[in-house]
């Protein structure tokens, strides 16, 4: 959920649109929908004007942190007034009011890079304090770029990891958040640059075998967070990949407490529901909580955060409306954004399609949502997907502070049928204990079916998967 985008549109009819207070005014909607946790996109102070050379673009999403200890001041009703104290108080109020409604608050945190860009970027903070400590540097001073954003935070340096842990503790003890989702978390598992191996591991022999950026089996930062008396008790979620090609879904260092955004779940479910051959078996694994990824490591179904859509990529409505991206408005000649979307437009490209195609799209959106709600693990859906929010085929709307990123309260009313369906599916999941198991389902409890009971079809061309659960 994007805090500003949640109430910024005029149809929200709140007194303070686009702010913490505005979001508080709409918490009852989330409760009625059945939501019990919100994962906020970045709310640290970030650089909105990162793209200063492009007057039509701004950093809307917030993945460009300037101050990790400050809530975003422009999300408060008072803005930068009184040195941003309004932002602190209003953020705390938002968390408190969410808790009153039984809604937990998880923050999306960006410790993989900062707003200072590459070696030619602006000096805003860490570069001026100690460039070689806070960033991964090559021997001649160039920045390693595992984040895809110009620099890479030197997470496993002793000084940097102390900074990160102090920051996380602050947001738990002072701001009372319930956990964190770590953007491009695989960067936190990479060996740091210019470090003393004795300080990093207490073993100069082991340290001598590691070069900058090498993935570590027991990364000091992740170890430190996992065993911290405060942080070890909150929810920790890894986006278990980075822009340098490190993909750790299913094997992120976890200490049995880290969950993961399950990107493999997303891709397999998209393939099966759009009718691609060969995915019936994989789809069944997804319904079981992805035991092929997590069970062997002693992990539980809740270690899998299941999702079909997020802020990155198509919305749910666009996933069934477009076969290709339309990102020209981003100013990068349509080069940005993912090309491998695994989408299907149901027969016609774009919103203005025949009645039969539009009906099929509605069924497909319901199929995706049903899948989320009957899968073992933790379901997550993107803000607005419950009413069919569209971004016009743009799958990378990081730079737009307008309606394309705003929750459309007027459209919600127009699409009340889909919203009601989603709410009922959430209620259905909550009512059935067997859909939220603590352990992976066994063969004694889970029975698979095909077109005939007890006869599942796992062939390449299978398009039908059904199951029943036995109470034990």
Residues forming the active site: 183, 239
Cα–Cα distance for residue pair 334/325, rounded to 1 Å: 8
**What are the structure tokens assigned to 237, written together?**
């979620």
CB 386 within 8 A of CB 309: no
**What are the structure tokens assigned to 250, written together?**
């299913």
Residue with tokens 């992120």: 252
Cα–Cα distance for residue pair 126/68, rounded to 1 Å: 12
Cα–Cα distance for residue pair 406/10, rounded to 1 Å: 10
Residue with tokens 């969950």: 259
Strands 65-71 and 44-46: antiparallel
Q: Measuring CA to CA, which residue among 26, 32, 33, 35 is closest to residue 6?
A: 26
**Centroid of chain to Cα 91:** 20
Cα–Cα distance for residue pair 376/463, rounded to 1 Å: 20
CB 17 within 8 A of CB 25: no
Q: Would you list the DSSP string of 38-91?
A: EEE---EEE-TTTTTT-TT----S--SEEEEEEE-GGGSTTTTGGGGHHHHHHH
Cα–Cα distance for residue pair 170/155, rounded to 1 Å: 18
Cα–Cα distance for residue pair 116/123, rounded to 1 Å: 6
């Amino acid at each position: 959920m994007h805090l500003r985008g949640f109430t910024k549109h005029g149809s929200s009819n709140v007194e303070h649109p686009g702010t913490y207070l505005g979001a508080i005014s709409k918490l009852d909607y989330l409760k009625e929908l059945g939501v019990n946790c919100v994962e906020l996109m970045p709310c640290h102070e970030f650089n909105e004007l990162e793209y200063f050379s492009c007057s039509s673009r701004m950093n809307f999403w917030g993945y460009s942190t300037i101050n990790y200890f400050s809530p975003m001041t422009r999300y408060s009703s008072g803005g930068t007034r009184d040195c941003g104290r309004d932002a602190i108080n209003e953020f705390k109020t938002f968390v408190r009011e969410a808790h009153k409604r039984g809604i937990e608050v998880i923050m999306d945190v960006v410790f993989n890079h900062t707003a200072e860009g590459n070696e030619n970027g602006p000096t805003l903070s860490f570069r001026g304090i100690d460039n070689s400590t806070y960033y991964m540097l090559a021997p001649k001073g160039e920045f390693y770029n595992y984040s895809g954003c110009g620099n890479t935070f030197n997470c496993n340096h002793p000084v940097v990891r102390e900074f990160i842990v102090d920051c996380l503790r602050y947001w738990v003890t002072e701001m009372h958040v319930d956990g964190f989702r770590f953007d491009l978390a695989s960067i936190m598992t990479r060996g740091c640059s210019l470090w003393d191996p004795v300080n990093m591991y207490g073993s100069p022999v082991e340290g001598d075998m590691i070069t900058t950026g090498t993935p570590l089996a027991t990364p000091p930062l992740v170890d430190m967070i996992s065993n911290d008396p405060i942080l070890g008790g909150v929810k920790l979620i890894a986006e278990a990949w980075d822009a340098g090609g490190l993909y750790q879904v299913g094997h992120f260092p976890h200490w049995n407490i880290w969950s993961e955004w399950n990107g493999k779940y997303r891709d397999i479910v998209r393939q099966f529901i759009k009718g691609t051959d060969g995915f019936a078996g994989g789809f069944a694994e997804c319904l079981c909580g992805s035991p092929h990824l997590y069970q062997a490591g002693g992990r539980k179904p809740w270690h899998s955060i299941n999702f079909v859509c997020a802020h990155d990529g198509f919305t749910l409505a666009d996933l069934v409306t477009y076969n290709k991206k339309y990102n020209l408005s981003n100013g990068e000649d349509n080069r940005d954004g993912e090309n491998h979307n695994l989408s299907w437009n149901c027969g016609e490209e774009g919103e203005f399609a025949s009645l039969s195609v539009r009906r099929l799209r509605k069924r497909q959106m319901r199929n995706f949502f049903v899948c989320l709600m009957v899968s073992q693990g933790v379901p997550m859906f993107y803000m607005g997907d419950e009413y069919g929010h569209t971004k016009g085929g743009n799958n990378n709307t990081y730079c737009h502070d307008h309606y394309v990123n705003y929750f459309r309260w007027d459209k919600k009313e127009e699409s009340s049928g889909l919203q009601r369906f989603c709410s009922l599916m959430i209620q259905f999941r909550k009512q059935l204990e067997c859909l939220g198991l603590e352990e992976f389902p066994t063969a004694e409890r889970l029975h698979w079916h095909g077109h005939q009971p007890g006869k599942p079809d796992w062939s390449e061309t299978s398009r039908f998967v059904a199951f029943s659960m036995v109470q034990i």
